[in-house]
Structure 1
Amino acid sequence: MEKLIEDFSLGLFFWQTLLFLALVFLLWKYAWKPILNAISDREEGIRNALDAAEEAKKEMQNVTADNEKLLKEARTERENLLKEAREIKEKIVTDAKELAQAEGDKLIKQAKATIESEKKAAVADIKNQVAELSVEIAEKVIKEQLSNKEKQLKLVDDMLGDIKLN
């Protein structure tokens, strides 16, 4: 620092001060305003970007809320559709069971009717066969019985004894 004070020159100081002031004036006149304007524009751009980011954040929150609402509605609708599908399935199963039961009952009735008619036909056939056999046996017995007069009278008496009058 001592050397600085020893080498101090007033003329040099004057010219350096004058050049510094001229430089400050030129910078103020030509560079300071554009620099301040650029800084101001940059500040405004940053402020606008922050405002836009805030708006985007609010819009994103709204979209998120809307998405949640739509998702909730979709879940509710899905549950309703599943419930409706279950009800339809149960109705179809119930209807199918009732139809199968009705068809089964109908088949059982038809089978019973068929069995009954076949039973009646079989009984009628057996009666016809028994009647034919009875007639044949009666013919043979009567031929043998009628060959003897005593036996004929005894047969008539037995038959009259078996007949009951009302």
Structure 2
Amino acid sequence: MNIVAPESLILWTTIIFIILLILLRKFAWKPILGAVRTRETSINDALAAAEKAKLEMENLHADNEKLLQEARAEREAMMKEAREIKTKMIADAKEDAKAEADKMVAHAQAAIVSEKKAAIAEMKQTVASLSLEIAEKVVKHELSDSDSQLKLVNEMLGDAKLN
């Protein structure tokens, strides 16, 4: 039996191990490290893209919120303007109606005054006409008798002296 000295075994094991390390480094480590680096780069790129997408989503969300707030503010402004227009239209309509009513009342009052004057004038004329008819009938009746005529003349002379 041929026994190999342990020193030479250690030497040959070390040499084989170094050769194995060199071969592994040349053929295995570089491709493995390259693949790991490529994978790390792609993961970092994916993380950066995800962060960028997250920022874009936050920006879009902020923009959407801003647009919603602007739309709400615009809607409120439009509603306020519509309420103001409604209030103004109601006030204008009330004012126009009041002016028209005042005009109608003034016209009616003028018509009443005019009708009253016409009625009074007609009543005066009717009273005067009736008075003349009555006086005419009374005078005819009184003056038909000569004693009555003398009595009337004496009464008139008596009234004339007193005045």
Q: TM-score, normalised by structure 2?
A: 0.71
What do residues 2-29 of structure 1 show as CA deviations (whole Å, max 9, x unaligned)? xxxxxxxxxxxxxxxx9xx99x959x64
Between the aligned residues of both structures, percent identity stands at 57
List aligned pairs for 1:77-88, cutoff 5 A.
77-88=74-85
1:40 paired to 2:37: yes
Corresponding residue for residue 115 of structure 1: 112
Corresponding residue for residue 63 of structure 1: 60
Corresponding residue for residue 123 of structure 2: 126
In the TM superposition, structure 1's runs of 4+ consecutive aligned residues that sit over 3 Å from their partners are 31-40, 156-160, 162-165
Q: TM-score, normalised by structure 1?
A: 0.69
Corresponding residue for residue 13 of structure 2: none
Q: Which residue identity is paired with 1:70?
A: L
Corresponding residue for residue 5 of structure 1: none
Structure 1's unaligned 5+ residue stretches are 1-17
Distance 1:80 1:164 in 2: 92
RMSD between superposed Cα atoms in Å = 3.0
Structure 2's unaligned 5+ residue stretches are 1-15
Q: Which residue identity is paired with 2:85?
A: I
Corresponding residue for residue 102 of structure 1: 99
Figure out how many residues of one structure are paired with residues of the other and give that number: 144
Corresponding residue for residue 70 of structure 2: 73
Corresponding residue for residue 149 of structure 1: 146
